[in-house]
Amino acid sequence: MLSSLTMEVSDQELGMFINTLRQASDYDFSEYSDKSLRRRIAKILVDHKMSLPQLLQTIEQEKDFAEKIVREITVNTTELFRDPQVWHMLRYKVLPLYAHLPVINIWDIGCSTGQEVYSLLILLNELGLFEKTNVYATDINSEVLTAASKGVYRYRFNINYLDNFDKVIRENPYNTAIHYDVPYEKYFEIDKNRDLIRMKPFLTSKPVFRKHNLVQQGNIWLRKFDLIFCRNVIIYFNFNLQNKVFKTFHDSLQEAGCLVLGLHESILGPFSSHFEKKDMVYFIKNPLP
Rounded Cα gap, residues 206 and 152, in angstroms:
15
Residue predicted with more confidence, 257 or 176: 257
**Mean per-residue pLDDT of the chain:** 91
Q: Which of 186, 226, 206, 184 is nearest to 114 (CA)?
A: 206
pLDDT in tens, 179-224: 999 999 999 999 999 999 999 999 999 999 999 999 889 999 999 9
Rounded Cα gap, residues 153 and 109, in angstroms:
20
Burial (CB count <10 Å: 0-12, 13-18, 19+), residue 177:
exposed
Helix (H) or strand (E) holding 209: strand 208-211
**What domains appear along the chain, each with residue ranges and CATH number?**
11-74 (no CATH), 84-152+200-284 (3.40.50.150)
Does this model's pTM top 0.75? My answer is: yes
Rounded Cα gap, residues 199 and 221, in angstroms:
26
pLDDT in tens, 12-40: 999 999 999 999 987 888 888 888 889 88
Quote the pLDDT of residue 99. 98
Rounded Cα gap, residues 159 and 197, in angstroms:
9
Rounded Cα gap, residues 145 and 110, in angstroms:
10
Rounded Cα gap, residues 278 and 256, in angstroms:
13
> Can you list the pairs that 154-157 forms with residues at least 24 positions away whose Cβ atoms lie under 8 Å?
154/195, 154/196, 154/197, 155/190, 155/191, 155/192, 155/195, 155/196, 155/197, 156/195
